[in-house]
Amino acid sequence: MKDLAGMDIPTFDDVLAAHDRIRPYIHRTPVLTSAFLNALTGAELFFKCENFQKAGAFKVRGASNAVFGLADDQLARGVATHSSGNHALSLSYAAGRRGIPCTVVMPRTAPQAKKDAVRGYGGFIVECEPSTSSREAVFAGVVAASGADFVHPYNDPRVIAGQATCSRELLEQVPGLDAVIAPIGGGGMISGTCLTVSSTAPGVQVYAAEPAQADDAARSFRAGHIIADDAPDTVADGLKVPLKDLTWHFVKNHVSDIFTASEAEIIAAMRLTWARMKMVIEPSCAVPLATILNNPDVFRGRRVGVIITGGNVDLDKLPWMQG
């Protein structure tokens, strides 16, 4: 579906097609609960565990939808992307499953574990500086040279339709949700969540959670237009990227509110999740729990789906062990 500005906006039919296309390559991840965290928040929390997803994050859904939907005449030239991490792993994984080349432009400061994992899946890394501007410049050169299909980490209708399959599963797994909350960086997961929820369960509210130190989405939401920061600094390294036109479309039309949490609150929520739920989660996906704890009146007494977006961390550098 094209909107008035010519954007190719994915529909729920695209979500259904994506789910059929990617099902052989993804896990239907479990939903876990914690009596301790329910008591602490006063809410009923249902954690959709995409940290147990293939390649360690939900991003494999969108990446697989793009890769397995490619036309035959594009296969030899493969795919390329820029990514702060999980999209890079996911696109490499999906390309590997389809047997096509995948080039990733990645900040040189990305966690070593993510670089190793990209290479482990067969992806080829080209490094850039850790800023949006450097990343985009380096990437333009890669695409010009290779003819690869650019699979944007979030501002791509194929990717959003893929991410939307996560909340489709969540709504099937947990009846009677009042709300869903997910982290927001570029907005791919939130856009997919908005697409599924607005199409199939419009009474369910969608909230986004963001680091206070990378709160461009929250400021955009209040201002009514996209505000982009070039290189925000936060432990939630998956959430540094700005909204783009397609994700902004979903955020502005379907998100009920965007909450923020400090770095210390994010790390505390991350450690609490590891300690009580026995799950390895990234800092990024601790942000929703941190904001639930910051806004008890919003969530108390409600059934809330919490999307745990990924579990790719460097186990030698845990944030609560650093000075």
Judged by the rule CB under 8 A, the positions of this chain that interact with a copy of itself are 30, 32, 35, 51-52, 54, 56, 113, 271, 274-275, 277-281, 311, 315-316, 318, 320-321
In whole angstroms, the minimum distance from the beta carbon of 254 to a copy of itself comes to: 29
In this structure, are residues 167 and 305 in contact, taking their beta carbons and an 8 Å threshold? yes
> For a copy of itself, which is the closer residue by CB, 54 or 152?
54
> For a copy of itself, which is the closer residue by CB, 97 or 254?
97
Length of the chain: 323
In this structure, are residues 210 and 238 in contact, taking their beta carbons and an 8 Å threshold? no
In whole angstroms, the minimum distance from the beta carbon of 3 to a copy of itself comes to: 37
Phi, psi (degrees; rounded to nearest 5) at 317: -135, 75
Report d(CA 66, CA 260) in Å as an integer: 31
In whole angstroms, the minimum distance from the beta carbon of 276 to a copy of itself comes to: 8
> For a copy of itself, which is the closer residue by CB, 110 or 160?
110
The two structure tokens encoding residue 73: 């005449």
In whole angstroms, the minimum distance from the beta carbon of 88 to a copy of itself comes to: 17
Report d(CA 291, CA 260) in Å as an integer: 6
> For a copy of itself, which is the closer residue by CB, 165 or 309?
309
In whole angstroms, the minimum distance from the beta carbon of 25 to a copy of itself comes to: 10
The two structure tokens encoding residue 120: 């482990």
Nearest to 65 by CA among 19, 29, 33, 102: 19
The two structure tokens encoding residue 161: 């339709």
In whole angstroms, the minimum distance from the beta carbon of 15 to a copy of itself comes to: 25
Question: In the block, which residue shows the tokens 């199939």?
Answer: 200
In whole angstroms, the minimum distance from the beta carbon of 51 to a copy of itself comes to: 4
> For a copy of itself, which is the closer residue by CB, 251 or 266?
266
Report d(CA 250, CA 187) in Å as an integer: 9
* Number of C-beta neighbours around residue 199 at 10 A: 15
> For a copy of itself, which is the closer residue by CB, 214 or 307?
307
In this structure, are residues 291 and 272 in contact, taking their beta carbons and an 8 Å threshold? no
- What are the DSSP calls for 149-181, one per residue? EE--SSSSHHHHHHHHHHHHHHHHHSTT-SEEE
In this structure, are residues 148 and 79 in contact, taking their beta carbons and an 8 Å threshold? yes
In whole angstroms, the minimum distance from the beta carbon of 280 to a copy of itself comes to: 4
> For a copy of itself, which is the closer residue by CB, 51 or 205?
51
Sequence letter at residue 275: A
Ramachandran region of residue 152, left (φ > 0), alpha (ψ -120 to 50) or beta? beta
> For a copy of itself, which is the closer residue by CB, 34 or 83?
34
182: exposed, middle or buried (Cβ count in 10 Å: 0-12, 13-18, 19+): buried
